[in-house]
Structure 1
Amino acid sequence: MSESFLNHLPEELRGRVVKITSVLPNSLSIFQDVYNFALDEVLESKRKQVKSSTSINGKHGEQDKVEESDIILKLDNVSVLSPLRRKLSLALHLSSTTKKPVLSLLKEDHSIEFSITDLKSSINMASFLPVPEKQGIMYLFVSYKQSNNPKYTEPLLITLNKESTLQQFVNLGIVSSDEKDFKKCVDYLRKQAIITGFRINDPFASESNAFHVDCHRSTKEGVLYFLSDHIIFGFRKPILLFNSSDIESITYSSITRLTFNVTLITKTNEKYEFSMIDQNEYGKIDEYAKKREVIDKSMSDELKAKKMNQSHNEGQSALKEASEQIEVNINNIPMDSDDENDENFEGESELSDGSDDSDEDSGEGSEAEEVVDEQQEEGEEKEEEGKFSIPHNDAIKQEIPVDVKKEMKDLHENSPDVVPADFEDIPIEIDEDDDSGVEYD
């Protein structure tokens, strides 16, 4: 025995033990006891690790099977939507080790895919819920603290086909063969849950005030369930579950003729907005909030200030945009130089030499043309200097035809107010008795 013990020691350590035992021969048995104790501790530690890895709460739990004799109730081929999506069997059964009730999802060979142990303390709430617009299907919703597999954290959601579930209850002899009321199945399931340590609510029974509304959460379409103690949004991941007592306040916004939005604000100041709710649902939601003394902050000073700031910012933005547009339009107006429009100013400026030619009257066309030519030349010289002087219109009179002159004179004789066509001076008669004080030359 001692030889075997020494052979398992490293050479250097074995030499030290041999040296001590050569001086104290009785010490060899002590070393043997120490070796055996250490060996037993190592083996026990390895056994615990193996047991932990194969327990129902570990990775190997998926390979554990439920014995037929341990099954309390099993529904085959139910549609599981969360925390995984698969056709599995729902079972209430006893644990093979603790003999305590367990809620599990089983594969065809009765191996466990998902399970919840310690049902009384692990399940937060469970409820039957209607499926909107599908009378033949019902949801079973279960919120729990933890499962056998850490990767499953979403609530358990199962759809029960009423017809097939009722038929299974008939086959199990739980209800009579002529039974058509699915409520019998619901009542039986609720009783079995109570026996195993938890409660399944049925809030949408005829006497209940629970209701649900269609809505959107961001781009996800879903259903908002208002229960007596909870509010659930589902059933696109992530599924949201609120305790009614945790809702601090509510606001209504984006109100139109057809729809409105609801924002739930928790006591930890988390905000969850649900949009596109039908206007017909407002009364029920508002009554639900008032009964639970939830504060309506739709008209709060904080929200008003926020809306006013938004309106102010929108107004400032509109003014800024208009200002920028005006600036762009002004900048796009062509700013022509004076030399491009000098012809438009002819007849409004004085002669280039500063004299006024209004007293000189040229009746000859050739003389007028010479004056214009000279003034154009002088104007071009001034143009180079940045100044303009265009001759008066009187210096560019044109010869009026004789027949036109005669017609205008005849018109003047009949109508003295009409000026003659040749612009000749018209004698003005002065009333000698006029004592207005105005002198005439």
Structure 2
Amino acid sequence: MAFATINSAPPTQASATTTQIAAIENAFGAEPALKKRIYDAIGSIPQYSPLFEDIARYTCGLRTRNANPVQPIQILQDEPVAKKRKLENGTGAGSTQSLVDLKTHNALQFYMQDVSFAMPQRKKLTLEVTAGNKYLRARNQASKEVEFGVPLNKIQHVLCLPVPEKSQRQFNFCVIPQYADGINPPPEGEPAPEAIMWTVNNGPAKSAFSGHGQQIGIGDGETSESLVRRVLDENLSHIRVVRPDAQEFVSAMLEAHRKGEKAYHIKAFRGSKEGYLFLLSTGIFFGYKKPLLFFAFENIDSISYTSVLQRTFNLNVVARAIGSDETQEFEFSMIDQADFSGIDSYIKTHGLQDASLAEARRAKRYNINGAKTEETAEADAQGAEGELQKAQRELEDQEDEEEEDYDPGSEGESEGSGSTSEEDSDEDQDDDADGNLVDELGSEAEDIPEDDL
């Protein structure tokens, strides 16, 4: 009993000291187990506190001196040259901060280990959010080096999207920094940034840390998806994490690999690349292969339908970068007709089929819930006809005209009888023309002298 009492006291005292020693937090924030042992030791022998603070300051000093801003990140030799250049010149995620800044900011607000990243590198890394609303970054779990990251205030969109066609539920978090949406180019002379994407399972996190020494793991009741989403919402003051909403769009086809579950994606092709469209409250996303595309409402000029067939159709999005007069068109093909109704409703709700409303969308950015503007509501009230419905109606009109021109009497008859029928028809037309001419002349024809006839 005495042994249990002695060992139960230090954690209480350590927890009270956790928020008081900034040097230890900065030096060992990424190593919670080691940091806990230090606080336990300080709790047991308080006079060791100055010693551990000196060690922590010395550790921070070593890291600062060893961080070389021009030193390239160690990457795999078989990676493409373009990818190597992006990672060597910066963070690989479009951050204007140097790599040394990402490395030396050590106080952590949150971390999660064994996270499967897909962009800009495909490997398992530790996801970190630093304290003070500074950076989101990824750390190599073996070398403990920061691989890439982005300042939180440079993030323009964060999406949490279900991974389609998986037997187990998974979610992709897509972090899109400024100028990384595939629509708005970076300023001249600056490299094009890349989006960051990682995948989490629907279950609880295996190992995560949040707040001041709070360890999160299996049995805490919160899933990895909800935990990451909550942390990002708490640390991003200017935006929120956007998820698919059934009020915006839900596919007419259920998730094939998970029976009875709603699907929010639309399978489509961009050229030869197969991907998925998501119709969200802030815009339209296409992924998950590079390059990712995100059409914010203010960037969309208009949307139309082409190549309308019995089972599929194409969706054409005309987009315009902010501050530019030039437009670019993106075609997404082989979309199933079953999803047309939902897509058309989404497009009409946000007034995306009318290019005249593009200026209004750019002047007033949509909020996170995608509220309607007055112009959009007026367009909905008028019940504007969708482009696909127009194409179908024109096709039906064309078929009706062909039926009217078709002469059923010509089938099964001889060529002679057929030609006779045509001659009779021509004679009738001539008689009608003569009759109409006499009617037009009227009384003038009666005044013509007989000698002149």
- TM bin (shorter chain): 0.3 to 0.5
Q: Which has the larger radius of gyration?
A: 1
Superposition TM-score, scaled by structure 1 size:
0.47
Greater RCO (CA < 8 Å, at least 6 residues apart):
2
